[in-house]
A and B are shown apart, each in its own frame.
Chain A
Amino acid sequence: MKPVSRQEFRREMMPTLLAAPFLILAAAIAPPLFPVVLLWLIAWTLNVAMTSLNLPFARVLTPIIFGATLLLIWELSCRIFAIPSVILPPPSQIGISVLQNAAILWTDFVQTILKGALTGWLMGAVAAVMTAIAIDRSPFLQRGLLPIGNFVAALPIVGIAPILVMWFGFDWQSKAAVVVVMVFFPILVNMVAGLAATDQMQRDQMATWAAPYWQSLWKLRMPAAMPFLFNGLKITSTLALIGAIVAEFFGSPTKGMGFRISTAVGRLDLPLVWAEILVAAIAGTLFYGIVALLEKKVTFWHPSQRNKRA
């Protein structure tokens, strides 16, 4: 243990030491809180020690310990205070629900994520990229569309879900339509900005080679736009799931995550609701992760990706 890190440890522990008496006081007033407080103090001290001493694997272990502690506290609190599962089921019960309802969860996943969200996201992305290229040659259209696109990207677009459900029916097509509208503008705005991201010198260079428009688009501006495009794709990966799930609240066949959540809430089957949330969370993270992985492959040359490697 080097002296520097010991000092660091002391400094980083200060807030915890200041908070400890209050936590202990709270436990003294409400004795059932005692194990929760103890667990928290032990886990946090462990984390502070790991990060300030720069132990190996600290970067990986700290968030895991932190997450596990929260889960444990959740579980303990539910048991100690006998919180009814209609309000907050403990993690263990949610886990059991996942296992019991695996088939249902899979059906809902296919219906909402694969059919609704993914189809819509792909269609919206292709449409946005094509539009960006179409208006690329008209600075006038770009100047007109960009502010509007930026404006629309900030709007509560999920609101059009009831309209689109009316137009396209209850099945996944209407969900995909909602997703198309939700993802279109953020991707469009990013792609247009990306196509404009080359500097004057690079365009002059193309001019000295007398490159035709399509050559300079394909060889210079498309690759240069990729980091922007992926930024849009990453933002919208979450939006796509939201759109697909929320649209189901306005009408759906008897399957799908949104449908299941609203009916399970009605039956007060909260463990199933949480199981769906868990699936949505995992699906969202996976979706984002796959896009981020693709980004790494395509834009390996971009400084933000290069730094990560080093």
Chain B
Amino acid sequence: MTDLARAPSDKTSWRTGHADRVLPVLVVLLVIVGIWYLAAIGMNAEWVRDQAARADEDLTSGEFLRRTLILDRPVLPAPHQVASGLWDGIFGQKITSKRSLIYHGWITLSATLAGFAIGSLAGVVLAVGIVHNRAMDQSVMPWAVASQTVPILAIAPMVIVVFASAGITGLLPKAIIAAWLSFFPVLVGMVKGLRTPDAMQLDLMRSWNASDRQVFWRLRLPSSLPFLFASLKVAVAAALVGTIVGELPAGASAGLGARLLSGSYYGQTIQIWAALLAAATLAAILVALIGMIQKATLEHMGLAR
């Protein structure tokens, strides 16, 4: 046997530069796209075969393959179909058009950002209170932790309907769901972060007779920042998911979630996939944005590695 448990080639890992990190990702992406094409051919084949049989056509295999990839309502649209759907949705429409993904994306984004801002601010404020007040800590924290195990997101559409029955529609109800979903990760992460300074660091502050306020601004807050940013990333993704799910109830007519739903009603698979990809892109941009702010902040503070 030659497959011995030798240490992997860590010796060279410090040399792995940019190219070495990008190449594997590209290769894996290519493989995924390849599998996607194969799956699209396989899943759409039956439909094409039926069509051909009905029209009494005899298809060459080349023609057969071509047809599986250009269906109007494919079971699984091929990557290039989704891409062109996405392109058309973003650049092919007027921004104000109901068919523009920019329009729907903006509706979703605005509710997401509003909710995210409210939720994270509330989370940070409550975390500060919890760290400084034992009664608050022991009263609220068990519930905050337990609430993370509850599928809150699943009831989002209901919240929308209830608000609608009280006459409140539009951005606010969705923002409330987004806020609710981003609140808990930030609260839990921030409490953890504010508590990272160990006993020695706190004792050192005590030996300098630092006030509670000084301990907070000079020790607790800076050391909590990595935790804060990590939970902000989770929170913004959760806020986006919350908003999209909040757009699912039949009443909503705008937003990426509504786009998903109408696509599924009318069997417009390309529309569903395009909306899905738009949502994914939005999530990626938001998370990356927070990542950039994190990097800049931590570098500025000298905390980055």
Residues of A near any B CB (own CB < 8 A): 8, 12, 15, 44, 47-48, 50-52, 58-59, 62-63, 65-67, 86-88, 139-145, 147-148, 151, 154-156, 158-160, 162-163, 165-167, 200, 203-204, 206-207, 210-213, 215-216, 220, 237-238, 241-242, 245-246, 249-250, 257-258, 261-262, 265, 268, 270, 273, 277, 280-281, 284-285, 287-289
Contact = CB atoms under 8 A, between A and B. Distances in A.
A215 B140 CA distance: 47
Given A51-B134, A62-B135, A144-B25, A287 B149 contact: yes
B158 A207 contact: no
Given A162-B263, A212-B3, A15 B158 contact: no
B153 A166 contact: no
B151 A284 contact: yes
Query: Binding site of B, secondary structure by majority: helix, strand, loop or mixed?
Result: helix
Given A160-B276, A162-B260, A213 B150 contact: no
Interface in B107-152: 129, 133-135, 137-143, 146, 148-151
A137 to B, nearest CB: 8
Interface stretch (B44-52, B215-223, B238-246): B238-246
12 contacts: A48-B135, A52-B134, A87-B166, A141-B24, A158-B241, A163-B276, A165-B264, A166-B267, A207-B4, A241-B151, A258-B154, A284-B150
A63 B150 contact: no
B138 A140 contact: no
Contacts of B280: 155-156
B287 A159 contact: no
Contacts of A242: 151, 153-154
A127 to B, nearest CB: 15
Given A65-B139, A154-B284, A212-B5, A166 B158 contact: no
B149 A285 contact: yes
B25 A147 contact: yes
Contacts of B284: 151, 154-155
A128 B20 CA distance: 25
B155 interface: yes
A50 B272 CA distance: 54
A131 to B, nearest CB: 12
B4 A63 contact: no
Given A47-B138, A238-B150, A280-B151, A213 B264 contact: no
B86 interface: no
Contact of A159 (B141, B143, B161, B276): B276
Given A156-B244, A159-B279, A237 B165 contact: no
A37 to B, nearest CB: 17
Contacts of A162: 260-261, 263-264, 272
Given A52-B134, A142-B24, A159-B260, 10 more contacts: A15-B129, A88-B162, A155-B279, A158-B241, A158-B244, A159-B244, A162-B264, A207-B6, A238-B151, A280-B150
B28 interface: yes
A52 B135 contact: yes
A277 B29 CA distance: 39
A273 B133 CA distance: 36
B5 A280 contact: no
A47 B25 contact: no
A261 B155 contact: yes
B94 to A, nearest CB: 25
Contacts of B4: 207, 210-213
B139 A47 contact: yes
Which 4 residue pairs spanning A and B have beta carbons closest together? A162-B264, A144-B24, A144-B28, A216-B5
A159 B133 CA distance: 41
Interface string B85-113: 00000000000000000000000000000
Nearest to A9: B135
B135 A265 contact: no
B7 interface: yes
Given A141-B28, A154-B287, A284 B5 contact: no
Contact of B283 (A86, A155, A203): A155
B21 interface: yes
A67 B138 CA distance: 11
B55 interface: no
B26 to A, nearest CB: 8
Contacts of B20: 143
Contacts of B302: none
B8 interface: yes
